[in-house]
Structure 1
Amino acid sequence: MTTAYDAVAVQYAEFVRDIWDGDALDRAAWAAFADSVRGRGPVADLGCGPGHLTAHLHSLGLDVFGIDLSPAMIELARAAEPALRFEVGSMAALDLPDASLAGILSWYSVIHTPPAEVPGYFAEFTRTLAPGGHVLLGCFEAGGGPVSEFDHKVTTAYRWPLDELMALAAAAGLVEVGRMYREPTAGERPFRQGRLLLRKPQP
């Protein structure tokens, strides 16, 4: 997956800039997430890509940094947002202390993960979140069907029923705060979009 995104980093950065800047419902989800974590500590944008959403969360008043598996994406993010922190790293094994984050944005960053490996990602989210911390997750929704594989053009990706993702998150110790669905807009893949807002309970 690293090599695949390295190869298309510049084109991908141009594509997501146009897509992610335009949807009012997505902006509302990011704002609700920001309201939930603002002033509580650092926030990690996991799978940050070229850093567009990292910068947006910073504009909403968050102490945010980005992590991505692709060195080419991190290079683009650092060039575009030199005042922000970006690091190469894997969500499967985050180089972060336990309970060190107030929030995690996982915006389409688990879509390429084989379903059997997703529980490990949620375990890392729970480990690195402080009690009371929040996760905002965005994905392609399965439209009422099972988890399904599709050709993402960059590399294989998966559509998920939100109920199944939520069950994996709950098994890792996270609770649901809310969820949202929206239909695709022009230029997006013809799949319903899903969002989950999760929280790590206080002890």
Structure 2
Amino acid sequence: MRVPGWLDDTRTSYDTVAVSYADLLRDALAHEPFQRGILALFAELVRAEGNGPVADVGCGPGRITAHLHSIGLDAFGIDLSPAMIDVARRDHPGLRFEVGSMTCLELADDCLTGLLAWFSLIHVPDDEVPTVLAEFHRVLRPGAIMLLGFYAGDGSRLKTEGYGGHPMNVYVHRRPPDRVAAWLHAAGFTVEAEMMHRPAPNIEGGFIFAHR
């Protein structure tokens, strides 16, 4: 589906909820052993490629960026929302965070050993996904590792409220893993593994490891 104005809507929505989002999810990873295991595997694969810079694209308040740093990666965060970046810098003052869009990353070609998009593609419309994946391919070195986390399934819904009851205006897109894998193949990636996680009824998380 096409969603005109989705970038502006996403930025404004997450600016609005940044503080409450950070408060609600600050300790969530401590209660998610499967997610920690997936991130540990990502870290192991990055280290095997030389342990260079890793971008957490769509980092929000930086909780996953900080976790990656704590397990030995040279991780930094990028997010569309200036308010999210302000919170990330406040909560993790020793780490690097930048405002930016995954549709046009301000990074040099072939500069990353790893890239994580942890449930940050969920607001990107289908017709914009190839642009985003082309950017990911451009900034990753040959052999570099990418991990995508997303909501598995099919269909989209408009999210008008969230994270403490604040107003939002973003579509949340669910995708079958085989569709995401096909997009990755078309963008020049090699898919290495697909995983599913069902943390609660009616919630399915999809995870795909791929390399350039």
TM-score, length-scaled by structure 1? 0.91
1:86-165 to 2 correspondences below 5 Å: 86-142=97-153, 147-152=154-159, 153=161, 154=168, 155-165=170-180
Distance in 1 between the 2:16 and 2:30 partners?
A: 23
What is the deviation of 1:125? 0.7
Distance in 2 between the 1:44 and 1:50 partners?
A: 14
What is the deviation of 1:10? 0.9
Q: Which runs of 4+ in 1 moved over 3 A?
A: 151-154
What's the counterpart of residue 93 of structure 2? Answer: 82
1:24-63 to 2 correspondences below 5 Å: 24-38=33-47, 39-63=50-74
What's the counterpart of residue 182 of structure 2? Answer: 167
What is the deviation of 1:21? 2.8
1:180-199 to 2 correspondences below 5 Å: 180-185=195-200, 190-199=202-211
What's the counterpart of residue 22 of structure 1? Answer: 31
Which deviations, in whole Å up to 9, do the C-alpha atoms of 1:139-162 show, x marking residues without a partner?
1100xxxx4102333421100001
Instruction: Please tell me whether the aligned partners of residues 58 and 79 of structure 2 are also in contact (alpha carbons under 8 angstroms).
Output: yes
What is the deviation of 1:18? 3.8
Which deviations, in whole Å up to 9, do the C-alpha atoms of 1:47-71 show, x marking residues without a partner?
0000000000001100110000000
- Number of equivalences: 193
Distance in 2 between the 1:167 and 1:46 partners?
A: 21
Give the structure with the larger strand fraction.
2
Q: Is there any run of 5+ residues in structure 1 with no aligned partner, and where?
A: none
TM-score, length-scaled by structure 2? 0.88
Identity %: 47
Other structure's SS at 1:111 match: helix
Q: Is there any run of 5+ residues in structure 2 with no aligned partner, and where?
A: 1-9, 162-167
What is the deviation of 1:11? 1.1
